[in-house]
């Protein structure tokens, strides 16, 4: 991982702090797949790292045919099968945002690619996480895997893709992306209510051990629900000020700070998780603590959460710079 000084420019790059991934992203963007193959092969013993890298590479590759070319060259490659699933899911999710009429067809194709990848490499967590990602497009819960009763937690936990989460966790016990995908599933429900989101967060945060990135999941939930309210014009003053006045936000920020950031990480932190914590500390007036997180972040900003809270013409970049400069000023 790389850090940087406050004078460096802001970098919004999908690889975040992962230098090895950054180089491969450039290769994939240029239509070359061999570096992607080598990076994924080197990540097989690190399921969380492999999952995170495959997510980024799938998003980059979705606009080209680079993964299809890889599959033609190496049709028996399990990594190529996993990336085919990633690309198919990314295209379906984009259609859900931009061309909803195509989303159902693309989701069906993506689901087929995921099950093919499961059969090719049963121990790989990536196809199961991909299946979880697709669940957010199924707003009527027509797919039986998306309306499974929760195996724990009693009746307050709603039905959902719990079986898919279980399979992903068997293969990647840290399960950062798997839990993010579960959160996105409930955020996508058409009711516009967040009770299922918070029931899930309340239950799962109690299971996250020290050093786990799942301790940052509640901060993502606060950011996402705030953005949903803000987009719909329903955000109240208390929503805008939750990082200063909400006891639950303060408690969750402290847990992420003391039990995740200040502990040995279970796996390398993502730029999004670091930025979520930096924002929560800064907005909660804990600027000396936030400065320590910003120093790890260096120039590697992420659009979540800064795009959600930006209210000036400079957008997320300006929001990040202002918060970082206020905090790092205390350190220099």
Q: Among the residues of 30-148, which ranges form H helices?
A: 34-42, 47-61, 66-73, 78-98, 100-120, 126-134
Domain of residue 126, residue span: 18-207
Which one of 207, 242, 259 terminates a domain?
A: 207
Please tell me the total count of domains within the chain: 2
* CA nearest to 222, candidates 309, 299, 290, 328: 309
Domain shared by 91 and 237, yes or no: no
Domain shared by 305 and 160, yes or no: no
Domain shared by 229 and 194, yes or no: no
Domain shared by 240 and 255, yes or no: yes
Domain shared by 162 and 174, yes or no: yes
Looking at residue 143, its pLDDT comes to 97
Which one of 207, 224, 252 terminates a domain?
A: 207
Q: Among the residues of the chain, which ranges form H helices?
A: 19-29, 34-42, 47-61, 66-73, 78-98, 100-120, 126-134, 162-171, 176-187, 195-205, 217-231, 237-240, 242-245, 247-255, 271-283, 287-297, 303-309, 315-328
Per-residue pLDDT reduced to its tens digit, 198-214: 999 999 998 999 999 99
Domain shared by 66 and 196, yes or no: yes
Domain shared by 159 and 236, yes or no: no
* CA nearest to 82, candidates 46, 129, 15: 129
Domain shared by 5 and 23, yes or no: no
Domain shared by 299 and 232, yes or no: yes
Which one of 180, 207, 234 terminates a domain?
A: 207
Looking at residue 313, its pLDDT comes to 67
Residue 133: asked if its preceding bond is cis (omega within 30°), the reply is: no
Report angle CA 268, 136, 14 to the nearest 5 degrees.
35
What CATH number is associated with residue 81? 1.25.40
Q: Distance between CA 144 and CA 199 in Å, rounded?
A: 21
Looking at residue 5, its pLDDT comes to 47
Domain shared by 150 and 243, yes or no: no
Q: Distance between CA 278 and CA 130 in Å, rounded?
A: 28
**Is the whole-model pTM more than 0.85?**
yes
Cβ–Cβ under 8 Å, residues 293 and 216: no
Looking at residue 192, its pLDDT comes to 60
Per-residue pLDDT of the chain (332 residues; tens, 9 = 90+): 444 444 558 999 999 999 999 999 999 999 999 999 999 999 999 999 999 999 999 999 999 999 999 999 999 999 999 999 999 999 999 999 999 999 999 999 999 999 999 999 999 999 999 999 999 999 999 999 999 999 876 668 889 999 999 999 999 999 999 999 999 999 998 766 799 999 999 999 989 999 999 999 999 999 999 999 999 899 899 899 999 999 999 999 999 999 999 999 999 999 999 999 999 999 999 999 999 999 999 999 999 999 999 987 679 999 999 999 999 987 66
Looking at residue 300, its pLDDT comes to 97
Domain shared by 107 and 38, yes or no: yes
Domain shared by 2 and 104, yes or no: no
């Amino acid at each position: 991982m790389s850090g940087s000084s406050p004078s460096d420019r802001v970098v919004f790059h999908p690889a975040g702090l992962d230098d090895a991934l950054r180089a491969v992203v450039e290769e994939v963007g240029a239509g070359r797949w061999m570096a992607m193959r080598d990076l994924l092969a080197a990540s097989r013993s690190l399921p969380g790292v492999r999952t995170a890298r495959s997510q980024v590479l799938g998003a980059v590759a979705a606009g080209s045919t680079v993964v299809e070319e890889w599959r033609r060259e190496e049709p028996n490659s399990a990594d190529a099968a996993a990336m085919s699933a990633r690309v198919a899911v990314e295209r379906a999710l984009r259609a859900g945002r931009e061309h909803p009429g195509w989303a159902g067809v693309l989701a069906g194709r993506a689901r087929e690619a995921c099950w093919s990848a499961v059969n090719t490499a049963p121990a790989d967590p990536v196809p199961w996480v991909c299946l979880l990602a697709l669940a957010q497009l199924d707003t009527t819960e027509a797919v039986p895997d998306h309306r499974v009763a929760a195996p724990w937690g009693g009746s307050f936990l709603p039905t959902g893709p719990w079986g898919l989460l279980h399979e992903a966790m068997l293969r990647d016990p840290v399960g950062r992306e798997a839990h993010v995908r579960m959160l996105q599933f409930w955020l996508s429900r058409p009711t516009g209510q967040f009770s299922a989101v918070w029931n899930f967060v309340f239950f799962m945060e109690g299971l996250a051990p020290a050093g786990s990135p799942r301790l940052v999941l509640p901060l993502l939930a606060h950011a996402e629900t705030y953005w949903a309210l803000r987009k719909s014009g329903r955000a109240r003053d208390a929503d805008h000020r939750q990082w200063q006045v909400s006891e639950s936000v303060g408690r969750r920020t402290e847990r992420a700070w003391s039990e995740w950031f200040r502990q040995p990480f279970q796996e390398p932190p993502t730029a999004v998780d670091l930025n979520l914590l930096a924002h929560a500390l800064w907005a909660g007036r804990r600027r000396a603590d936030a400065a320590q997180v910003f120093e790890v972040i260096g120039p590697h900003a992420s659009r979540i959460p800064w795009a959600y809270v930006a209210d000036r013409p400079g957008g997320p970049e300006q929001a990040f710079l202002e918060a970082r400069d206020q905090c790092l000023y205390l350190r220099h």
